[in-house]
A and B are shown apart, each in its own frame.
Chain A
Amino acid sequence: MEYDLKAMDLEIKAIEERTKRLKELARGFEAVEKNAEAILAFVYLLRKNVSDIVE
Chain B
Amino acid sequence: MKRGENEYWNPIIETLPRERLTEIELKRFRDTLRWAKEGSPFYRKKLHGIEPEDIRTLEDVTRVPMTEKDELREAQEGKGFSLYGDLLAVPPEKLSVFHQTSGTTGKPVFFPDTYESWQLVVDIWCYILYAAGFRSTDRVFLPFVYNVYIAFWQGHYAAEKLGCEVVPGGGLETKARIQKMKDVQATALMNTPTYGLHMIEVAKEMGIDPKRDLRIKKMICAGEPMPEPSRLRLEEEWGADVYDHIGGTEPGGWAGMCSQKKGMHVIEPYFLFEMVDLETMSKPIPSGMKGVAVITPLCRRCIPLIRFNLKDIMTKRDDPCPCGRTSVRVDQIGGRVDDLRKIRGVFFSPNMVEEVIRAQFPEVVEFETLLTQEGVMPVLTLKVELAPSVSESQSKETKNRIREKLKIRTNLTFQVEFVKPGGLPRYSLKSARFKDMTRR
Nearest A residue to B301 via CB reads A44
Inside 8 A of B411's CB, which chain A residues have their CB?
none
**Residue among B24, B27, B119, B269 making CB contact with A41, cutoff 8 Å:** B119
Q: Does A50 contact B (CB under 8 A)?
A: yes
Query: What sequence of 0s and 1s flags, for each residue 122-134 of chain B, a beta carbon within 8 Å of any chain A beta carbon?
Result: 0100000000000
Query: What sequence of 0s and 1s flags, for each residue 112-124 of chain B, a beta carbon within 8 Å of any chain A beta carbon?
Result: 0011100110010
Instruction: List chain B positions with a Cβ less than 8 A from chain A.
Output: 1, 10-13, 16, 24, 27-28, 114-116, 119-120, 123, 269-270, 299
How far apart are the CA atoms of A44 and B24 in the complex, in Å?
16
Nearest A residue to B270 via CB reads A48
Given contacts A1-B1, A38-B115, contact A44 B120 (CB under 8 A): yes
Q: Does A11 contact B (CB under 8 A)?
A: no
Chain A interface residue number, banded: 10 to 19
How far apart are the CA atoms of A8 and B12 in the complex, in Å?
13
Given contacts A48-B299, A50-B12, A53-B13, contact A42 B119 (CB under 8 A): yes
Instruction: List chain A positions with a Cβ less than 8 A from chain B.
Output: 1, 3, 5, 37-38, 40-42, 44-45, 48-50, 52-53
CB distance from A34 to the nearest CB of B (A): 9
Given contacts A45-B123, A48-B270, contact A5 B116 (CB under 8 A): no
Inside 8 A of A1's CB, which chain B residues have their CB?
1, 11
Inside 8 A of A5's CB, which chain B residues have their CB?
12
CB distance from B393 to the nearest CB of A (A): 61
How far apart are the CA atoms of A5 and B114 in the complex, in Å?
28
**Residue among A41, A49, A52 making CB contact with B115, cutoff 8 Å:** A41
CB distance from A54 to the nearest CB of B (A): 9
User: Besides the contacts A48-B299, A52-B24, A52-B28, what 10 more A-B pairs have beta carbons closer than 8 Å?
Assistant: A3-B11, A44-B116, A44-B119, A44-B120, A44-B299, A48-B120, A49-B10, A49-B13, A52-B27, A53-B16
